[in-house]
Amino acid sequence: MKISIGSDHAGFELKEHVKKYLESKGIEVVDEGTYSPDSVDYPVFAGKVAKDLQNKMVDYGILICGTGLGMSITANKFKNIYAALCLYPTMAKYARMHNNANILVMAGRLMGPTLAEETVDTFLSTNFEGGRHQRRIDEIKEIEK
């Protein structure tokens, strides 16, 4: 499995923790920045991670900013990107099962490292159910056109 990860300055510390956590589990990580806690603009990093997914360079993406809101909004502007802000493992479970989310978005100012690890694990271990949920994903794809 290969994951692209990115953050702004408010998510930098949690991004670094999550990156190390993923690598400790043998998961390859593409770090798209930011690389310090200096102030930056989140759309730049959301775009890099979304493009990695669009170009099929990675299997999933993870984005982290202060609240997760800016990253979610930005990433979802990209075609075939389904970024879900998940503050808890249960949200991550349903984001994958029902929405086939391909980017997990988390909040650096609202989540601690243990909660983030549990949320990441749930996101990565949950499969899309398909069925009636596929019909809804197809409806979203029609809107994207």
- Residues annotated as catalytic are 65, 98
Angle at 53 between CA 132 and CA 59, to 5 degrees: 70
**Distance in angstroms (rounded) separating the CA atoms of residues 143 and 145:** 5
Neighbouring CB atoms inside 10 A of 36's CB total 9
Place of tokens 């989540």: 111
The residue ranges of DSSP E strands in the chain, in sequence order, are 2-7, 28-31, 60-65, 83-85, 103-107
